[in-house]
Amino acid sequence: MKCVFCDYEESKVVDTRSAGDGHAVRRRRECMRCGRRFTTFEKVETRPVMIIKKDGHLEPFDTEKLRAGLMKACEKRPAAQARIDGVVADIEKEILNLLEPEVPSRTVGELVMRALKELDEVAYVRFASVYRQFTDINTFMQELAALVKDQKKGNE
């Protein structure tokens, strides 16, 4: 591994630890020339998953776009950043576990809807209103009625 300080190509590993819930390895390295230490991370390379958009074009799955959508839905809500990050990681894992090179955007949307329903019901309704493109108050009310019905089932 090339030293980040002096570009020398030899370094030794002085410490190795698990990182990222066991999905990565953190290594502390020491340069053989300048003696300075730096940290590297190793992560399994996953194949890129392409998302099939409504109009048929493909775009790479983007966890930052997913995180931004969740943050927007949870804006001014008590959802902690750590919980949102957990939802992003869970959805990414589910998508990768599909073992499909291309995944429809509706699949991602439904995963987000399911996660938001558990995380924060107001955020769920916000996201649903955009994702399902509510055109009038009746459609909005139908979604709310279904949410209330599900909530009552859960309390029984």
- 35 and 61 housed in the same domain: no
SS3 category, 2: coil
- 134 and 101 housed in the same domain: yes
- 63 and 97 housed in the same domain: yes
- 96 and 135 housed in the same domain: yes
Q: Looking at the predicted structure, is the pLDDT value of residue 130 above 80?
A: yes
User: Which domain covers residue 67, as residue numbers?
Assistant: 50-155
- 34 and 79 housed in the same domain: no
- 77 and 135 housed in the same domain: yes
Dump pLDDT digits (tens) for 41-96.
Answer: 998 877 789 999 999 999 999 999 999 999 999 998 887 888 999 999 999 999 98
- Cβ(11)–Cβ(1) below 8 Å: yes
CA distances from 27 to 13, 37, 147 (A): 7, 10, 47
How large is the average pLDDT for residues 18-45? 90
- 87 and 140 housed in the same domain: yes
- 110 and 129 housed in the same domain: yes
Percentage of residues in the chain having pLDDT higher than 90: 58
Is 3 domain-assigned? no
Confidence band (pLDDT; 50, 70, 90) for 3?
Answer: very high
Is 15 domain-assigned? yes
- 97 and 123 housed in the same domain: yes
Is 5 domain-assigned? no
Average pLDDT, the chain: 89
Is 1 domain-assigned? no
For position 31, what pLDDT does the model report? 98
Following DSSP, what letter does each residue of 86-97 receive, concatenated? HHHHHHHHHHHH
Q: How many domains does the chain have?
A: 2
Is 71 domain-assigned? yes
- 123 and 145 housed in the same domain: yes
Is 4 domain-assigned? no
- 144 and 122 housed in the same domain: yes
- 39 and 54 housed in the same domain: no
